[in-house]
Amino acid sequence: MPLLRRKSAPPPAVEKPEPPQLPEPPAAGPNGLRSMADHRDYLLSCIEPLPPFGQQILDSVGLSLCEDVTSAISLPRFDNSAMDGYAVRAADVADASEQSPVSLPVVGEVPAGSPAPHKLSPGSAMKIMTGAAIPEGADAVVPYEATDRGATDVRITEPSAVGQHVRRTGEDITAGTVVLRAGEHLASRAIGLLAAIGVDKVMVRPRPRVVVISTGSELVEPGLPMDNEQQIYDSNSYMLASAAKATGAQVFRVGLVPDDPERLKQVISDQLVRADLILTTGGVSQGDYDIVKQVLPELGATDFTQVAMQPGKPQGFGLIGEDKTPIIMMPGNPVSAFVSFEAFVRPVLRKLAGTAHYLRPTVRIFAGHPITSVAGKLQFARGVVHRTEEGERTVELAGGHGSHLLGGLAAANALLLIDEDTDFVAAGDEVDAWLLDEDS
């Protein structure tokens, strides 16, 4: 049939893309606000750990293992010496002592990594190094310290039991054993074990790739001059990028975008290709220039809400673009952004990375002075934790309540969590806290 007359097939049914949707968000509390824990758990429920990939073991430290690892070999692989000394038959030195040493001819030498030159005959000894294979015929090692270190003959001054100073094949690990399980966080000891069983690559979850964007026409890049008296330096993108880095993420700081909806949409769309998570600050509140809130619904499914916490009340979340990339949209005040990171972003990053514990442990610390709070919201106060001489921890507030007070935030080493029902903490009472520094 001539080509031109061929009846054209009906056009393929255009699959209408499903309108993007988020799972049903949790109900607000009686005050119309969502609780911090509800919001965090909602975000966690909307994301999954990143898919595993194969990685060199040296680049896997700190990552989460995604497979059970079975050892193909035993450790030790072969009976070997735990000491530098002489391989013997225990029976030949059973009567050795300082008073009546036993003298044996030295019939060879076994360095680590090489086979013994020959079998050990009864009544002789073979020099052996730590880690070297026990020669056939030997069943014990006499360490140098119990000998005269002789080269052709050796005087042995202590008896030795069968198996003494011999590391037995498989006494550490038996071939076929699962040595590490999926989900394990790979510390240096585990990397050493993987190498020891000959494994050079493992399946791990990658470091999440995080794109950080701050919005606001008032922002200027640090290091650059200001144009007018009303501008401020962009601190959020630097702070959040650093915090994400310290949480193990691979970070792309895009920096500042002015309050221009088209520009913002373009920047975010361009970044989707390299993002496992996008973070924005600013533009989520009630203001007329809150463009994040305006624009983001065009890019995917979003949830803008008010959380019963202070600072950090206005919060946005979405799954955007083709890959439903998660985006967390935080308020623009620096302290609000930091608290939002700790409350929401850090747990999400840890889930993406496959870490077992998403949440910082909450510790109880004695208040060093009275602390007032506002009931009805979870207050995140910035605190400086000290250890008393007795090793007890006490905390004092750093800076004031304002969500713009970066000086106090930088001085703080803890966030205090003062719950909805509390408006006063007396000196000496315990408060909940998240310790922000490894050493605090």
Cis bond before residue 311 (omega within 30° of 0): yes
85-88/125-128 β-pairing:
antiparallel
CB 20 → a second copy: shortest distance, Å? 28
Phi, psi of 387 (to 5 degrees): -105, 130
Among 7, 98, 286, 389, binds a second copy (CB under 8 A): 286
CB 287 → a second copy: shortest distance, Å? 4
CB 429 → a second copy: shortest distance, Å? 19
> Count of residues binding a second copy (CB under 8 A)?
100
Instruction: Kindly state the tokens that stand for 372.
Output: 């007032």
Q: Is 288 in the site for a second copy (CB under 8 A)?
A: yes
Residues in 9-68 that interact with a second copy by CB under 8 A: 57-58, 61-62
Beta carbon nearer to a second copy, 301 or 384 = 384
Residues in 119-178 that interact with a second copy by CB under 8 A: 127, 129-133, 144, 167, 171-173
Instruction: Find the part of the chain contacting a second copy (CB under 8 A) among 2-10, 39-47, 109-117, 418-426.
Output: 109-117
Residue 166 · residue 80 · CB < 8 Å: yes
Beta carbon nearer to a second copy, 26 or 432 = 432
Q: Is 278 in the site for a second copy (CB under 8 A)?
A: no
Among 68, 148, 221, 270, binds a second copy (CB under 8 A): 221
Among 36, 409, 414, 417, binds a second copy (CB under 8 A): 409
Instruction: Find the part of the chain contacting a second copy (CB under 8 A) among 40-48, 72-80, 99-107, 153-161.
Output: 72-80
Which helix (H) or strand (E) covers residue 323, if one does? none
Among 102, 193, 307, 348, binds a second copy (CB under 8 A): 193
Instruction: Find the part of the chain contacting a second copy (CB under 8 A) among 33-41, 95-103, 397-405, 426-434.
Output: 397-405
What's the rounded Cα separation, in Å, for the pair 179 and 181?
Answer: 7
Phi, psi of 190 (to 5 degrees): -70, -35
Instruction: Kindly state the tokens that stand for 324.
Output: 């439903």
Q: Is 285 in the site for a second copy (CB under 8 A)?
A: yes
CB 221 → a second copy: shortest distance, Å? 8
Dihedral (Cα; 402, 403, 406, 411), 10-degree rounding: 70
Q: Is 408 in the site for a second copy (CB under 8 A)?
A: yes
Among 218, 396, 429, 432, binds a second copy (CB under 8 A): 218
Q: In whole angstroms, how far apart are CA 196 and each of 53, 128, 178, 193?
A: 22, 22, 14, 5
Residues in 363-392 that interact with a second copy by CB under 8 A: none
Among 187, 273, 374, 375, binds a second copy (CB under 8 A): 187
Residue found under tokens 């007795």 = 390
Q: Is 343 in the site for a second copy (CB under 8 A)?
A: no
CB 331 → a second copy: shortest distance, Å? 9
CB 6 → a second copy: shortest distance, Å? 56
CB 345 → a second copy: shortest distance, Å? 11
Which DSSP letter does residue 411 get?
A: H
Site string for a second copy, 246-265 (x = CB under 8 A): x------x-----x------
Phi, psi of 20 (to 5 degrees): -60, 140
Instruction: Kindly state the tokens that stand for 271.
Output: 């970044």
Instruction: Find the part of the chain contacting a second copy (CB under 8 A) among 90-98, 265-273, 279-287, 317-325.
Output: 279-287
Q: Is 361 in the site for a second copy (CB under 8 A)?
A: yes
Of 330, 331, 332, 329, nearest to 318 by C-alpha is 329
State the DSSP string of 52-96: PEEEEGGG-TTSBB-S-EE-SS-BSSS-EESSSEEEE-GGGGTT-
Instruction: Kindly state the tokens that stand for 31.
Output: 């005050």
Among 113, 262, 322, 421, binds a second copy (CB under 8 A): 113
Instruction: Find the part of the chain contacting a second copy (CB under 8 A) among 117-125, 269-277, 286-294, 372-380.
Output: 286-294
Q: Is 222 in the site for a second copy (CB under 8 A)?
A: yes
What are the contacts of 21-30 at 24+ separation with CB within 8 A?
21/301, 22/46, 22/301, 22/302, 22/303, 22/317, 22/318, 22/319, 25/303, 25/305, 28/305, 28/306, 29/308
What's the rounded Cα separation, in Å, for the pair 240 and 339?
Answer: 10
